[in-house]
Amino acid sequence: MGGIIAFLVLVVIVLLILMSCVRIVPQAHAFVIERLGAYTTTWPVGLHLKLPIIERVAKNVNMKEQVVDFPPQPVITKDNVTMQIDTVIYFQITDPRLYCYGVENPIMAIENLTATTLRNVIGDLELDETLTSRETINTKMRASLDIATDPWGIKINRVELKNIIPPTAIRDAMEKQMKAERERREAILIAEGEKKSTILIAEGKKQSALLDAEAEKQAAILRAEAKKEATIREAEGQAEAILKVQQSNADGLRMIKEAGADDKVLQLKSLEAFAKAADGQATKIIIPSEIQGIAGLASSISEIAKTK
């Protein structure tokens, strides 16, 4: 009975050892394998078997891109301004063997390397350049860190300056400067607004004056046209009146002619027509020679009538 129990225990131990030798490497991971304390191989993703007791998994390496946020580091600019800058590092392990055996504590090594590199880069820049050249600083730091971490099997994908914190006195001075700049821009905008308003008012007055002048011009043209039309109508009326008078005289002479009156009577009627035509308005009347004889005859008759 004791032998059977011992056999079962041995079988269980063997099964446990065999199960421990079967390892599955998940996606985006790699296992560093050591045999008797020496590096043997790196297992990629999949099912693997290791030798019991003499082989072991030295490290489970995460191959995904990782992010490390380092605390603020004191740095001094070229113009001797001390500020606090914290950085964010995006890195990825490219060689699990170098990552496992290249450096004792890779994250701490990257942190210290980042701090020294940041001091070197910021030390060549003044305060204003530091505040306005984040992209340049990021590029320089990424290049330097990537070269330094290559022997550790680490690739630096991106470096970002998260916060740049100047001293309190510098921040106060910057705020005052920004406030003065905003006030200056506000004053410029107000002045430009007043200038545009003045220009618009002047243009409005000019346009109004032009419209008034145009209206006055049109009114004068209409008055002149009305006066011209009245003069034409008056002249046409006078001409029509004269035409009717002459037509009436002509009709009277024709009636006398048709009644059988002789030439002397006709000449006398013509003389009366000339007298009416003069009507006291003319200073000189030209009488045809045919009528002058009858005019003298009429004068003689008038004198004889007076003597009687």
d(CA 270, CA 277) in angstroms, rounded, equals 10
Does residue 301 sit in the same domain as residue 209? Answer: no
Does residue 241 sit in the same domain as residue 159? Answer: no
Position 97 scores a pLDDT of 93
Does residue 70 sit in the same domain as residue 137? Answer: yes
Sign of CA dihedral 210, 212, 217, 221: positive
Does residue 302 sit in the same domain as residue 255? Answer: no
Instruction: Name the pLDDT band for 90 (thresholds 50, 70, 90).
Output: very high
Does residue 91 sit in the same domain as residue 147? Answer: yes
Contact 72, 165 (CB under 8 A): yes
Q: Which of 260, 196, 256, 139 is nearest to 272 (CA)?
A: 256
**Residue matched to tokens 């060689």:** 95
Q: Does the pLDDT at position 265 exceed 70? A: no
Residue 174 lies in a domain: no
**Residue matched to tokens 């993703």:** 45
Instruction: Name the pLDDT band for 256 (thresholds 50, 70, 90).
Output: low
Residue 179 lies in a domain: no
Residue 176 lies in a domain: no
- What CATH number does the domain containing 87 carry? 3.30.479.30
Most confident residue range from 9-18, 138-147, 167-176, 250-259: 138-147
Q: Does the pLDDT at position 271 exceed 80? A: no
Terminal Cα-to-Cα distance of the chain (whole angstroms): 208
Query: What's the domain range around 203?
Result: 184-260
Q: How many domains does the chain have?
A: 4
Does residue 123 sit in the same domain as residue 161? Answer: yes
Position 92 scores a pLDDT of 94
Taking all residues of the chain, what is their mean pLDDT, rounded to a whole number? 80
Position 244 scores a pLDDT of 78
Contact 87, 140 (CB under 8 A): no
Residue 40 lies in a domain: yes
